[in-house]
Amino acid sequence: MKKIVIIGASGFIGSTMFNYLSQKLSNDCVVKGTYFSNKKANELLYMDITDSKQIEHYLLMEKPDFILMLAGSKDVKKCEMDYSFAYKMNTQPVEFIVDTIKKYDLDTKLIFFSTDYVFDGEEGNYTTKDIPNPITNYGKTKLLAERVLFESNIDFKIIRTGAVMGKNGIFFDWLIRTLNIENNVFVFENVFFSPTPIQLLNEMVRALILNYKNSPEKLLHIVGDQRLNRYQFAMMISRLVETKCANLVPENANLEQSLFHKDLSLNQSDFVRERQTKSLDEYLENEVYHD
């Protein structure tokens, strides 16, 4: 059986993906994972991704067929205040993984999760052919990690995603909770993105693992198939939440004095477009009523 290791399996995306792949690939793969501060499953092992020795020891112990690299810092504000922190969390661990694979000639495929923040957000609808131009330290250090991979000779793929939505996601849970308790909810209508249902992301990662050899692309945009502003997205969720009592009020973000980008929407890669099984509404409805 193939072995999959999820580095960063205790966060929102990582824990959901760990559970999904453990179920859906149980006949084909063994799924293992690491955590740093929040052990959500007994099977997870501790790892500090800033420690090259820990990464080396873990990979030599597991010798995985696939590494899903989800760990890092998505704290855009903290990254902006401290570039060295952003680099240490988002670039250097990828360097450590690449160095270990090369040093010990491991037969390991690395799937690295990048971000829509590699773009400046001026145009939107970005494709994999568009030239990145990050304006935040978070985006800059994720792009540096991408370049580390493109300059290596290891077997890798990069998944750019963004605005991953689902139960236990911070914005998603806040929106549903607030719709049920507030009179008015103010939501930006000048901030555009491509909301990505967590189930869609999980399905595409599973498909990529199973079809890895037949997928020549090194870089994939795995996102939802609609470009929406935050107000439009909130309206979509509001229609699904039957017990809502709040009134949604559109407002504009101050893009000059905030870390918000005007438009970070991504165009789906063909790999996703050919395999997506549900509409965005259907995916989100599953999350709203998720047990």
The DSSP secondary-structure symbol of 148 reads H
Average pLDDT value over all residues in the chain: 95
Any domain includes 139: yes
How many domains does the chain fold into? 1
Whether 141 has a pLDDT exceeding 90, the answer reads yes
Q: What is the pLDDT of residue 242?
A: 76
Helix (H) or strand (E) holding 280: helix 280-288
Per the domain annotation, does 111 fall within a domain?
A: yes
- Is 25 part of a structural domain of the chain? yes
Q: What is the pLDDT of residues 200-217, one digit of tens each?
A: 999 999 999 999 999 889
Mean pLDDT of 184-213: 96
The pLDDT of residue 291: 58
| Residue 151: inside a domain | yes
- CATH number, domain with residue 271: 3.40.50.720
Domain annotation covers residue 150: yes
The yes-or-no verdict on residue 151 having pLDDT over 80 is yes
Residue 54 above 80 pLDDT?
Answer: yes
Average pLDDT for 142-166: 98
**Residue 11: which of 43, 30, 34 has the closest Cα?**
34
Res 42 pLDDT > 80? no
Structure tokens at 179: 């719709």
- In three-state secondary structure terms, 254 is coil
Phi, psi of 161 (to 5 degrees): -140, 180
Which pLDDT score is estimated for 205? 98
Range of the domain at 82: 2-163+196-225+266-277
Q: Using one digit for the tens of pLDDT, what is the confidence trace for 223-281?
A: 999 999 999 999 999 998 876 777 899 999 998 777 889 999 999 999 999 999 999 99
Give 105's Cβ-side CA count (13 Å radius).
0
Tokens 């690491």 belong to which residue? 34
Break the chain down into helix, strand, coil percent, rounded to 5: 40, 20, 40
Instruction: Classify residue 286: in a domain, yes or no.
Output: no
Q: Which two tokens stand for residue 101?
A: 């694979």
Task: Give the separation between CA 79 and CA 147, rounded to whole angstroms.
Answer: 19
% residues pLDDT > 90 (the chain): 85
Cα–Cα distance, 90 to 46 (Å, whole number): 18
Angle in degrees, CA 144, 19, 71, rounded to 5: 20
Mean pLDDT calculated for residue range 88-101: 99
For the chain, report the end-to-end CA distance as a whole number of angstroms. Answer: 31
Mean pLDDT of 107-118: 98
